[in-house]
Every structure is written in structure tokens, then in C-alpha cells.
Chain A
Amino acid sequence: MPEKKGLDMDILKEIIKIMKENDLSEICIEQGGLKIQVKQGYTQPTHAVYNVPIQTIPEKAHATAETQITEDSSVFISSPLVGTFYESPKPGEEPFVKVGDSVKTGQVICIIEAMKIMNEITADMDCEILEILVKNGQSVECEQPLFRVRPKA
């Protein structure tokens, strides 16, 4: 908005007064190369907050986690895809696995939600859970380690 250059503040005040009286939200005046643009501040209306049911498709695809070997005898189980990590089948329910649990090949260890699909992630070996490396609801990248585990012979 031009501030000087022959602009009469009284005229501007008059324009704003007119705008307010007429409940205008925007005005643009051009006169001899001079352009005045005025915008009235919007007031954010208050709205009730509604609870909307989330439209998820509980279709279950199965994926096997990939494992990576570490220096000690433990290995990492990594996410086979990008998405959101869930430790339990439904919010508020018991997690699939806890630290210290022994899991069998094919056992579901977590869910990665991607593109509205709940992908059940299964262990690809018999092992013991040593550490859970991500938090419930956290976004994970493809091949990001999810669990540190000790394989069973």
C-alpha cells in the first residue's frame, strides 16, 4: 500500500469510514498512476467442533518385515513400507508385542497404516523382542528399524 506520494490521509480515512459503514472487505482505487488497495481485517467466525467419523478401510494386507544384522547377536526388524506405526490392533488395546516377548515366524508384531490400508507386519523368524524403536502413531520410513530382536537358533 503506498504511504506517501500525494496520498491524502484524510481521504483514506474517509474511504475506510465508508467501507466500514457499507461493510466492505476490499477496495481498490486507481487515480493518475496512484493505486490504493485497502483490505478490511477478516474476523474469524466461531464454529462448533463436530466429531466426524474417520473413513478407514480396515482391509488387511500382509507384509513380512525385513531384518538387518547388527554387531552383537541382535538384529533389526525394519518397516517394509512408509506409513504410520501402530503397536496394537485397535486404539486402547494391548500391543501385539512387548519387550521380552518371544515371537514366532509369521506372528503379527505391528501394523503399518499406509494409504488407508492397515498392513499387518509379521516376524520373518523366531526371535525375542529386545527393544521397540518407534512410538505408537509415529510416521516411519521404508526400511526404518522398528524392533531390535535376538533371533532364536
Chain B
Amino acid sequence: MPFNKILVANRGEIAIRVMRACREMGIRTVAVYSTADADSMHVKYADEAVCIGPSDKSKSYLSLSNIISAADITNAEAIHPGTGFLAEAPHFAEACRDHGITFIGPTPENIEMMGDKARARQVMDKAGISPIPGSKGILRNEKEAIKLARKLGYPVVVKSAAGGGGIGIREAYNDAGLLNAFQLVQSEAKSAFGRSEVYIEKLIERAKHIEFQILADKYGNVVCLGERDCSVQRRKQKLIEETPCLMLNPKIREDIIKSLIKAIRNIKYTNVGTVEFLMDPEGKSYFMEMNTRIQVEHTITEEVTGLDLLKEQIRLSAGERLTLRQNDIQLNGHAIECRINAEDPDKKFMPSPGMIDDFHAPGGIGVRLDTHIYRGYKIPPFYDSLIAKLITHGKNRDEAISRMKRALDEIIISGIKTTIPFHKKILEDERFLRGEVYVNFLNSFSMSE
């Protein structure tokens, strides 16, 4: 047993996901919660629970001192940050290290290296992974941006180096648009992240978002668990993910995996990680960014590999060696995940927190539901709208899709609005069925069609 007790510094379904892995491993768990989450499932599920502050996340789930104190008083040896909140904050990983607590994730240096998106592009380029054509590092001023944009050819995308979660990204189609975008992204980034540095990339039209799952130990062993296609997005937020990607040529997949393994070893990255690419219609892939945490959509990779990624991550964090070799990785069948959010798809996805009056979970072969909701649970308005992840696994894509349709018909969540009707509609869409979905697909998709 790598640890006796782990504190989970998160809430919602991801907190439950981490605790489930701990329970199977015989590791005791500590939940932390804000006063708004006293009735939340993760508080009930954990062996112990510590209240770390008010509903305002900056005083609870983002409070380093409160979380580390909670780990101290409960004698937790390690902290799992989940996804979101402090998962990609290098200073949190560092604070854990300073207090002799294991941070379950990559090193603070790894997080910092990839957290600066402009630097990450340079690092990966040097390691042999081509980034999207664009600036080498930060742009100093508008003049430099215009010069480069003309060289790349419009349209281009202006991005914040500190960016994340779809913030600080704007497209530009000409010089005037670029000047405007440059200033807007600078000010958005300044207010959201406290840093205004920007860089530009060429806009890849009809691009698919594909990302590769990595596991790496600190002894230089790296495996890649294939890709996930996350092209069904709304305003840079993923809604449906699947693996494998229908459009990815097997030869190209093999090449990417080979060069990725080499690159990850080269940059001395450890733990779990996801390398995101944009793939153009010719099948050429360009590095976009790397996420230095377990991701929401890790579930579909688990379904096709049969591996428990949380257990793998916990073992890696305890300093264990990877026992898997790349040749051991078998990808079986096809898996899809639909993110069920408390949002009203008929009202421009307006948030819909509130009381769950009734809840019935779908079941049967090949169906998995990761959720923290229960009948009578009141979803607070303060946090993420993700309330459930519905995952289906089939021997091929058609089976995974028909299974997903069945599961979406079976699931009952009433009292609030959810994205379930949206998912049903997408699964009937001709373009989705052909696998021809690009990241801008939802711009041309209407709920009332």
C-alpha cells in the first residue's frame, strides 16, 4: 500500500472517483468541503471530512493554508488535487512538498513548465513535437504580432500564455482584427490570471481536437495509452469525448506515440499527463498544450485499456516504477463519454442549479456513470456545472453509440435542466455519426433543428 491516508482537495464526481480508487487500494480518505457542500456526496463517502471554509472557493477549495492544515490535522500523507481548483497550481504542489506531504501529480517544475503555454510550445518543439505554427515564445508588442501574422497568413489566433479553460483566446482575420484581439486578450488575461503575455498561432480550420494520455514514472519509463477525440466542444468546453478517433490514421497514431514517449522522457515529465493536439483535415497534428493532471475524460481511456488511471497515478506518486510496457497496452473497442451538466441547452446553456427531485441511474452492459448526485441533493450555484459523466463502451463505435443512446433514454434527472437532450440530439447528427466533427462544429448546430 503506497499511502495510508490521502486527502482529496476537490469536490463533485472527481472527488468520488479518487476516493473509489483509494478504497479499492485500502487507503483511507479525507474529504475537504466548503459550508455550501456540507451535504455533498464526497463528504459522506470519505472516511473523514474537514470543513475548510465558506462557499467562496477562494476561501475554501483554493485556500492552500486551509487545505494543508486539514492534511496536517488528519495525518494525511498525500493530497490528490482532482481536476480544476489547485490541480495545476505549481505553488500548491510546492507547498505540499515543503510540508512533507506528497502531491499526487507531476512535480511543481513540470506544472510550471507546461503552465506557461508559450514556453510549453518551445519546450515541446525542442523535444521534437511540432507546435501549431506561430510565435516562438511571447510577443513583445502589436508590431511584432502583425509582422508574424502576415508571415503566417491570416486567420490567426491570439492566446494568453497563462491561459486555460478557454479564457484569453481570440481569432483575428486581418491587421485591424489582430490589433483589437491583441489588446483584448492582454486585458482579459491580466484580469483572469494576473499576467498579460500573449502569443499567436495560425488558425487551423476544420481542426479536430485529439489528445494523448501519458503515464510516466521518475525512472524514465513512459507509456502512452492512445488518444481521445474531444472535438465536440462549446466555447472551448468539451461536451463529448471518444476513443479511438475515427479520423486518425493508424500509421500517424503510431508515429505520434513514438515521438511523444521520447519527448516526455526528454523533458523529464513524470506522473499522468495529457498532450493536446489539433489535427488538420490532411491528418497532420500540431501540439497545442499539455495538461499536467488527471482529466475529466480519463474514463474513456480506462474503458478501452482496462486500466485504473487513478490507481496508476497514486502508485506513480508514491515513487513506484511503471510495470506496464508500451507493448502491453491493448486498446479494446470504442468508448464515449457524455458530460451531463446542470445547464439548460434550450436557453443557451444557462446554469441550472437546484434540487434533484428524482434520479435514476442507467445500467446494463457497457454503461458507467460517474456522479456525485443523489435524490434530494441540492446542487449549489457556486461551482462547476458538471454533475455526471455517462460513459459507454462497445466492441466498436456503432455499439458504443447505440449503447449511449439507450443509457441516455434510461437516465432520469429531474428538478433541474441538464444537457441530456443536447446529447441525444448530437448522437442523431449525421456529421457526428460520420465522425466529421470539428472544434467549431457547434457553431453550426442548433437545438431546435
User: Which residues of A pack against B, CB within 8 Å?
Assistant: 25, 42, 44-45, 47-50, 52-59, 61-63, 80-84, 90, 113-117, 119, 139, 142
Contacts and interface: CB of A to CB of B under 8 A. Distances in A.
B353 A50 contact: no
B203 interface: no
A45 B72 contact: yes
B73 A53 contact: no
Interface residues of B, number: 46
B381 A84 contact: yes
Interface stretch (B23-31, B81-89, B254-262): B81-89
A117 B86 CA distance: 19
10 contacts: A25-B75, A45-B72, A48-B65, A52-B62, A52-B92, A55-B62, A55-B84, A56-B192, A115-B353, A116-B385
Nearest to A48: B65
Interface stretch (B143-151, B161-169, B301-309, B365-373): B161-169
Given A57-B165, A62-B348, A115 B62 contact: no
Contacts of A57: 165-167, 237
B91 A114 contact: no
A49 B58 contact: no
- Shortest 6 CB-CB distances between A and B: which pairs? A115-B351, A114-B351, A115-B385, A47-B65, A114-B381, A52-B62
Nearest to B343: A115
Contacts of B194: 53
B8 interface: no
B256 to A, nearest CB: 29
A61 B349 contact: yes
Contacts of A142: 354
B164 A55 contact: yes
Majority DSSP secondary structure for residues of A touching B: loop
Contact of A82 (B64, B89, B381, B384): B381
B63 interface: yes
Given A55-B165, A90-B191, A114 B58 contact: no
Interface string B381-409: 11111000000000000000000000000
Interface in B177-195: 188, 191-194
Contacts of A49: 64-65
B98 to A, nearest CB: 9
A61 B57 CA distance: 21
Nearest to B67: A47
Interface in B350-365: 350-354
Contacts of B235: 59
B384 A61 contact: no
A63 B347 contact: yes
B69 interface: yes
A101 to B, nearest CB: 25
A52 B64 contact: yes
B342 interface: yes
A115 B384 contact: yes
B68 interface: yes
A139 B91 CA distance: 31
B296 interface: no
B51 interface: no
Given A52-B89, A84-B381, A58 B351 contact: no
B95 interface: yes
A119 B350 contact: yes
B342 A58 contact: no
Interface in B265-313: none
Contacts of A90: 191
A35 B93 CA distance: 41
A4 B55 CA distance: 45
A96 B396 CA distance: 53
A52 B58 contact: yes
A44 B385 contact: no
A122 to B, nearest CB: 13
B58 A50 contact: no
B206 to A, nearest CB: 24
B193 A53 contact: yes
B351 A55 contact: no
Contacts of B350: 61, 63, 80-81, 117, 119
Contacts of A58: 167, 188, 192
Nearest to B91: A50
Given A42-B73, A44-B69, A55-B164, A50 B385 contact: no
A94 to B, nearest CB: 16
Contacts of B191: 90
A46 B58 CA distance: 19
B383 A50 contact: no
A114 B55 CA distance: 12
Among A48, A90, A113, A114, the one with the most B-chain Cβ atoms within 10 Å of its Cβ is A114
Given A47-B68, A47-B69, A115-B383, A53 B351 contact: no
Contacts of A59: 166, 235, 237
A114 B353 contact: yes
Given A44-B73, A142-B354, A61 B381 contact: no
A54 B167 CA distance: 13
B383 A116 contact: yes
A119 B385 CA distance: 14
Nearest to A50: B64
A90 B192 CA distance: 11
A55 B85 contact: yes
